[in-house]
Amino acid sequence: MLKISTVFIGSIAAAFLLLPIAAQAQSVADILKKVDQAGNSDSAKMEVSQTVTTPSGDTRTFKMMSYSSGGQEKGLTEYLAPAQVRGMKILTLNNGDDIWTYFPKTNRVRKIASSARNRRVQGSDFTYDDMATGEMAKNWKGKVAGTEKINGVTCYKLDLVPTASGPKSYSRSTVWIDKTKNTMLRVEYYDLDGDKLKRLDISGYKKIKGIQIPMQYTMTNLVDGGTTVMKVLKVAINVEIDPGLFTEAGLSK
């Protein structure tokens, strides 16, 4: 009996020694899926302000309406102000794989090529790749680097690289995820040469109809010192949205 018990206990101990290795291999995908689940809604409609501060200190503020459907499957951003950009639209489909823009002055719809996804949108620190967020679990993979605190909140620290369907503008990123709420608090992006490029801080989360909605995004360019702050002014979750908005033909209407 003693021999059997020793073997049994030894087997259990070995299993526990192996568990962290297996758990680590699964954990990034699991964590990113939980982030998507925490923040994705059937549909959303938001009024947003965006203030761009250049390295020299000049500022410019935009107002936009943002619509989404099917989590991050479809998205549309329409500029409301200032007058020079009013009516400009950015359409993202297939979890951000496809991006179109519409410019009212020329009445033209243009698909954004992969090589152009790293261009700044209206001089902000957000690129077309940033606007086409998509689902984290589909667009990123990597490993758990440990845990760290961000603003007093204990987070998973993840070292990630893009998947084949992920962003084309970055070689990798470091992401901090609130361990309790499964919300993303910070992202550091690295350019295609592997140099640190930008930091995104996400804050002011509100739980609306069970969905975690961040009320502020602050993108800091770590090269030139410029910043762009996006604030959610109004938000409606799981509301009816005309599906025609999320079509190439609908951009010019």
Measured torsion, CA atoms of residues 24, 26, 27, 30, in degrees rounded to the nearest 10: 180
**If pLDDT is split at 50, 70 and 90, which confidence band does 6 have?**
very low
> And the tokens for 150?
């961000």
- Mean pLDDT along residues 3-14: 37
DSSP assignment string, 157-226: EEEEEE-TTS-SS-SEEEEEEETTT--EEEEEEE-TTS-EEEEEEEE--EEETTEEE-SEEEEEETTT--
- At the fourth CATH level, the homologous superfamily of domain 38-252 is Lipoprotein localisation LolA/LolB/LppX (2.50.20.10)
Report whether pLDDT(25) > 60. Answer: no
For 71, the 3-state DSSP assignment is: coil
Report whether pLDDT(1) > 80. Answer: no
> Residues 140-157: pLDDT tens digits?
999 999 999 999 999 999
DSSP assignment string, 133-170: ---HHHHEEEEEEEEEEETTEEEEEEEEEE-TTS-SS-
Q: Which of 155, 124, 129, 120 is nearest to 75 (CA)?
A: 129
**If pLDDT is split at 50, 70 and 90, which confidence band does 43 have?**
very high
Report whether pLDDT(26) > 50. Answer: no
Q: Which of 17, 24, 21 is nearest to 146 (CA)?
A: 24
Report whether pLDDT(232) > 60. Answer: yes
Report whether pLDDT(2) > 60. Answer: no
Q: How many residues does the chain have?
A: 253
pLDDT (0 to 100) of residue 72? 80
Specify the residue for token string 């910070």. 186
Report whether pLDDT(24) > 80. Answer: no
What's the N-to-C CA distance of the chain in angstroms?
A: 80
Percent of the chain with pLDDT over 90: 81
> Residues 165-214: pLDDT tens digits?
899 999 999 999 999 999 999 999 999 999 999 999 999 999 999 999 99
> Residues 99-110: pLDDT tens digits?
999 999 999 999
